[in-house]
Structure 1
Amino acid sequence: MIMRRRMMLLSLSALVATRARAQSYPTRPVRFLVPFIPGSAPDVIARQIAERLSPALGQPVVVENRPGSGGNIGFTHGARAANDGYTLILGTNSLVINPALYARVEYDPLADFIPVHLPFAMPHLLAVSAEAGPRDLAALVALLKAEPGRHNYASGGNGSGAHLAAELLKSRAGVEAVHVPYRGAPDIINAVLGNQVLFGLPTMSTAMPLVTAGRLRAIAVTSPQRSPALPDVPTLAEHYPGAEVVSWFAVMVPAGTPAPIVARVDAAIRGLFADQAWVARMTADGTIAVNMGHEEFAGYYRGEAAKWAELVRLSGARVE
């Protein structure tokens, strides 16, 4: 009995101490871990969030890049970080794609992280050469059906969002095309413009300047709804229900981070969206302002893990 009381007192003391730390959080700079290179789309978005999150939390939020292995190095580092709220992790689709894509990863996307907030997402554009490409999605699909396996498409690498979006299109439309992996969105665009491939699916923010310049033709977007930046371009889902793929950029923390700290960060990020001028600047290139809080994001995140694992299986992609 005495031992049980001692254990209860210790547990109560630990709970009180945790709540006290959470109420005073943060008392020192917060690290924002980005598992990708400086200048990449995730890095740019992370820095925009960090810059505004610093005054919201009352402490500096410092971006730290840990790139490599498709994000796995940074994600593994984040999973092993202290769960005290002083390490935030920039999560992307890669966090849930990589366990299905790579032969081995050293983290569990569901067990090792808490999804805090989903601020932004970015669709892909199904793009062709404005000079030589099909006029619209129907013409592209008709060509692929007429000449199965003859035409190529470009992606940013095996298991990338562009690759899996194309595989989803192939599955829904019942067509064949040969996958040619490149290193990223700029290479996808160059391959399309150089007629090395028939089509590609670069991220919208990267492709928009060339669409505006009339060099690329956008024939579909992969977002659930049409983009305000390209209101005349249909979504893939308008033709093939369920063919929706967006690259999302979220804030995560290591598992075990106290709930009051999760709530504090979640609320601080949600508050950033009161600045309508900032939101307008962030979404001018087709980026989607999602502003999805912790509770809703947690359910969405579980669904994304299952969805992307299935897309990887359909694509047959594998990285050893």
Structure 2
Amino acid sequence: MTHRIPGLTRRLSRSLVAAGLLLAGLAAHASNWPERPVTLVVPLAPGGSTDTTARLLAEKLGKELGQPVVVDNRAGAGGNIGGAYVAKSQPDGYTLLFTTSTAATNVTLYKSMGFDLQKDLVPVSQVAQIPNVLMVNNDVPAKTLKEFVDYVGQKKTVINFGSAGNGTSQHLSGALFNSRVQGHMVHVPYKGGAPANADLIAGQIQAVFSPLVEVLSYVDSGRLRALGVTTPARSSRLPDLPAVAEVLPGFEVVLWNGVLAPAATPKPVVDKLAAAIQRVTQDAAFRKTLADQGSTPIGNSPEEFKAVLGTEIEKWGKLVRLSGARVD
């Protein structure tokens, strides 16, 4: 014979009802979301390649969602200020973060980011991948990637390579390249990629590993000599340019950008947002704009982006430790 405990039964019933109401509320929130403009926080200054892509995404995404998507630039601390702002925002789907692979780098680079990338934010979808491109000034005698690998490996000449700063993708790309070649390359950090590229053109430094989107005009005009891209495969924008991995097997530095939301954002909202981003990344005009910049559209699911993020944190962490960079 089964004995029922009235108090326990009532509490269980109330819990089930509460859970049902919560699920119903989340479903209603997702079906109505968004009911007002959405803010897309870009943790970098206006005008750069990341900001440009974010604004392109915001325009297309607003049309998909039926509400304006407004870009809010909150620069500082290598992207950590904007990231912390979103991590501490209301998890209602109205404040989102457009971040880059720098966020994965910062987990190891910074003693404290001001938030936990994997606990305080939830991945929604990657938007694009971007290669770095190895460029040299026209005075460097090496004309091809293989010749440059041999030139650096001889250690007869000090090769100064510039970057946008300590711990940036340019710095880490150069550190990895120097390690693989076992050369004598010296890192010269700048306050941004533009001054590094300017000094490269002027012959003050010999090489820079720069995001392709930022230097295409120099490559197209012949002011700088491109030798290879850091992605495993060649770029469709420069199909005749080899991947560094073709000469140094396994070499890979892939930049990316994507959208994250505060961790407690309801899953139906995250899924709805991810589906909208995926539709944007399949838009012909959007894809052409990214392809013209040398970028590759992604548009993966929240689950896929979460797995990628975990791998990226580990990968970039190894590069940071290899370079010796640290920000306390």
Q: TM-score range by the shorter chain?
A: over 0.9
Structure 1 gaps of 5+ residues are none
Structure 1 CA distance, aligned partners of 2:202 and 2:140? 10
Q: Post-superposition shift, 1:133? A: 4.5
- Matched AA of 2:71: V
CA distance in 2, matches of 1:59, 1:7: 36
* TM superposition shift of 1:181: 0.5
Question: Which of 291, 295, 309 does residue 301 from structure 1 map onto?
Answer: 309
Offset of 1:9 from its aligned partner? 2.3
Are 1:229 and 1:285, in contact at CA under 8 Å, matched by a contact in 2?
A: yes
Identify the match of residue 15 of structure 1 among 13, 16, 23: 23
What displacement does 1:148 show?
6.1
Structure 1 range deviating more: 137-146 or 100-109: 137-146
Counterpart position of 2:104: 96
Q: Secondary structure at the match of 1:125?
A: strand
Q: Which moved more, 1:241-250 or 1:53-62?
A: 241-250
1:188 aligns with 2:193: no
1:36 and 2:44 are equivalent in the alignment:
yes
What amino acid sits opposite 2:222 in the alignment? G
What is the TM-score when the length of structure 1 is the normalising length? Answer: 0.95
Alignment match of 2:221 (pick from 213, 220, 227): 213
Once the two structures are superposed, the pairs formed by residues 121-136 of structure 1 within 5 Å of their partners are: 121-136=129-144
Partner amino acid for 2:74?
A: R
CA-CA distance at 1:282 after TM superposition = 2.3
Aligned match of 1:201 in 200, 209, 217? 209
Report the alpha carbon displacement of residue 184 of structure 1 after superposing the two structures with TM. 2.1
Match of 2:117 among 103, 109, 115: 109
- Tell me the equivalent position of 1:119: 127
Query: 1:220 & 1:238 partners in 2: Cα distance?
Result: 9
Q: TM-score, normalised by structure 2?
A: 0.93
Say whether the 8 Å CA contact 2:109–2:325 is kept in structure 1.
Answer: yes
Q: Which runs of 5+ in 2 are unaligned?
A: 1-7
Partner of 1:286: 294
The CA distance in 1 between the partners of 2:131 and 2:285, in whole Å, is: 21
Rg larger in 1 or in 2? 2
Q: Is the 8 A contact 2:287 2:297 kept in 1?
A: yes
CA RMSD of aligned residues (A): 1.5
Structure 2 counterpart of 1:309, which letter? G
8 Å CA contact 1:121–1:249 kept in 2: the answer is: yes
The 1-side partners of 2:103 and 2:86 are apart by: 11
Q: Secondary structure at the match of 1:91?
A: strand
Q: Which of 63, 68, 87 is residue 71 of structure 2 equivalent to?
A: 63
The offset of 1:276, in angstroms, is 1.2
Runs (4 or more) in structure 1 with deviation over 3 Å come to none
Q: What displacement does 1:275 show?
A: 2.5
Count, aligned residues: 320
Aligned partner of 1:242 among 246, 250, 267: 250
Report the more deviating stretch, 178-187 or 65-74: 178-187
- Work out whether residues 229 and 286 of structure 1, in 8 Å CA contact, stay in contact via their aligned partners in 2: yes
The 8 Å contact of residues 148 and 175 in structure 1, kept in 2 or not, is answered as no
The aligned amino acid for 1:140 is: F
Secondary structure, counterpart of 1:33 in structure 2: strand
Task: Deviation per CA, 1:41-66: give whole Å up to 9, x if none.
Answer: 11111100000111100111111111
In structure 1, the residue matched to 2:5 is: none
Cα offsets for 1:262-283 (capped at 9, x unmatched) = 1111111111234213311222
Q: Is the 8 A contact 1:34 1:43 kept in 2?
A: yes
1:87, 1:253 within 8 Å by CA — same for their partners in 2?
yes
Taking the aligned partners of 2:182 and 2:230, their CA distance within structure 1 comes to: 17
SS at match of 1:124: strand
Distance 1:278 1:308 in 2: 28
Deviation at 1:99, TM superposition (A): 2.1
Matched, 1:176 2:180: no
CA distance in 2, matches of 1:312, 1:319: 11
In the alignment, is the contact (CA less than 8 A) between 1:51 and 1:61 conserved in 2? Answer: yes
In percent, how many aligned pairs have the same letter? 38
Counterpart-to-counterpart distance in 1, 2:185 and 2:296 = 29
**Aligned counterparts of 1:75 and 1:63: Cα–Cα separation in 2:** 14
SS in 2 for 1:229: coil
- 1:137 corresponding residue in structure 2: 145
Distance 1:233 1:200, change over 3 A: same
